[in-house]
Amino acid sequence: MARVCPALGLFAEGPFVLDSGPYVQERDMPDTKPYELDAFMAGLEKRNPGQPEFHQAVREVAESLVPYLNQDENRVYRSARILERMCEPDRVISFRVCWQDDDHKVHINRGYRVQFNNSIGPYKGGLRFHPSVTQSVLKFLGFEQTFKNALTTLPMGGGKGGANFDPKGRSDAEVMRFCQAFMAELYRHIGYNTDIPAGDIGVGAREVSYMFGMYKKLTGEFTGTLTGKGLSFGGSLIRTEATGYGSTYFMQDMLETKGEAIEGKTILVSGSGNVAQYTVEKCNHLGGKVVTLSDSGGFIHDPDGIDEEKLAFIKELKNVRRGRIAEYTEKFGGTFHAKERPWAVPCDLAFPSATQNEISADDALTLVKNGVLGVSEGANMPTEIEGVHVFQAARVLYAPSKAANAGGVAVSGLEQSQNAMRISWSEDEVDRRLRDIMRDIHAQCVRHGQEPDGHVCYVTGANRAAFNKVAAAMLAYGVL
Ligand code: NDP
Amino acid at 380: N
Determine if ligand 1 sits within 6 Å of the CB of residue 408.
Answer: yes
Q: Under a CB-based contact definition with an 8 Å cutoff, are residues 108 and 180 in contact?
A: no
What's the sign of the alpha-carbon dihedral 255, 438, 158, 29?
positive
Domain ranges in the chain? 6-87, 91-224, 242-404
Greatest distance between any 2 Cα atoms in the chain: 75
User: Is 242-404 in the same CATH topology as 91-224?
Assistant: yes
Nearest to 401 by CA among 147, 155, 198: 147
Determine if ligand 1 sits within 6 Å of the CB of residue 199.
Answer: yes
Nearest to 358 by CA among 372, 339, 371, 374: 339
Mutating to test ligand 1, I would choose from 203, 295, 328 the residue with most ligand atoms within 8 A of its C-beta, which is 295
Amino acid at 347: C
| Residue environment code for 275-297, b if the CB has 16+ CB neighbours within 10 A, otherwise e | bbbbbbbbbbebebbbbbbbbee
Atom 28 in ligand 1: residue holding the nearest Cα: 354
Q: What is the DSSP letter of 71?
A: S
Q: Under a CB-based contact definition with an 8 Å cutoff, are residues 137 and 53 in contact?
A: yes
> Superfamily assignment of 242-404 in CATH?
NAD(P)-binding Rossmann-like Domain (3.40.50.720)
Atom 27 in ligand 1: residue holding the nearest Cα: 201
What does the pLDDT read at residue 252? 98
What does the pLDDT read at residue 23? 57
Determine if ligand 1 sits within 6 Å of the CB of residue 273.
Answer: yes
Question: 265 catalytic, yes or no?
Answer: no
Q: How far apart are CA 480 and CA 478, in angstroms?
A: 6
Q: Under a CB-based contact definition with an 8 Å cutoff, are residues 79 and 31 in contact?
A: yes
Which atom belonging to ligand 1 lies closest to the Cα atom of 293?
Answer: 9
What does the pLDDT read at residue 24? 59
From 3.30.450.20, 3.40.50.300, 2.40.340.10, 3.40.50.10860, which CATH number describes the 91-224 domain?
A: 3.40.50.10860
Determine which helix (DSSP H) or strand (DSSP E) holds 123, and give its type and residue range: strand 123-129
Counting as low any pLDDT under 50, the low residues of the chain are: 1-21
Distance, CA 241 to ligand 1 centroid (Å)? Answer: 14
The CA-atom distances, in angstroms, between 294 and each of 68, 132, 335, 336, 347 are 38, 18, 12, 9, 16
Distance, CA 206 to ligand 1 centroid (Å)? Answer: 15
Angle between helices 172-186 and 205-219 (to 10 degrees): 50
Distance, CA 133 to ligand 1 centroid (Å)? Answer: 12
Q: Under a CB-based contact definition with an 8 Å cutoff, are residues 4 and 26 in contact?
A: yes
Q: 58: burial class by Cβ within 10 Å (0-12, 13-18, 19+)?
A: buried
What does the pLDDT read at residue 191? 97
Determine if ligand 1 sits within 6 Å of the CB of residue 111.
Answer: no
3-class SS of residue 398: strand
Q: How far apart are CA 126 and CA 148, in angstroms?
A: 12
Determine if ligand 1 sits within 6 Å of the CB of residue 280.
Answer: no
